[in-house]
Amino acid sequence: MESVIKHIIDTCSAVVQTYFRVNPNEVPSYPYAVFTYQESSVEWEQDGCYIDIDLFDNQGTDDSRIEATLNQLKNIMKHHYVMLDDCYLRFQFSGANIIDTMSDTLQRRNIRLYLIIDWRN
């Protein structure tokens, strides 16, 4: 999964600074994205993953920047496919949600993708 994680970071970072599991910066620079995955075996040499990408911004009630970032990520990833050295990846857009942060400044959105991984041995 190391190559898959690296590819997701590289691809999403073209739009917004992206991290796996946690933003390591003590003082974050907004906007940024953090993603996790849930993987399962679909069949021999093929896995399926749900990729959850959480976007964070600090623009208060002005949703324009976080919504634009969400749309850019969606457009890049919704039908993205690529051949890596160890696998073939096919991404599909599954959905997006607004997540309430209970904050006057912090905004959060979630994008869910489904990823099919065909492993090459």
User: Tokens 């959850």 sit at which residue?
Assistant: 52
Taking only the tens place, the pLDDT of each residue in 61-97 is: 999 999 999 999 999 999 999 999 999 999 999 999 9
In which element (H, E) is residue 104 found? none
Helical pair 64-77 and 2-12, crossing angle rounded to 10 deg? 130
Report the pLDDT value the prediction gives residue 42, as an integer from 0 to 100.
Answer: 86
Report the pLDDT value the prediction gives residue 17, as an integer from 0 to 100.
Answer: 97
pLDDT at 46 over 80: yes
CA distance 120 to 1: 12
The pTM (predicted TM-score) of the whole model is 0.92
Dihedral angle sign, alpha carbons of residues 121, 12, 95, 106:
positive
Q: In the chain, what are the domain boundaries? A: 2-119
Contact 25, 39 (CB under 8 A): no
End-to-end CA distance of the chain: 14
Contact 60, 105 (CB under 8 A): yes
Mean pLDDT of the 12-32 span:
96
Query: Which CATH architecture group holds 2-119?
Result: 2-Layer Sandwich (3.30)
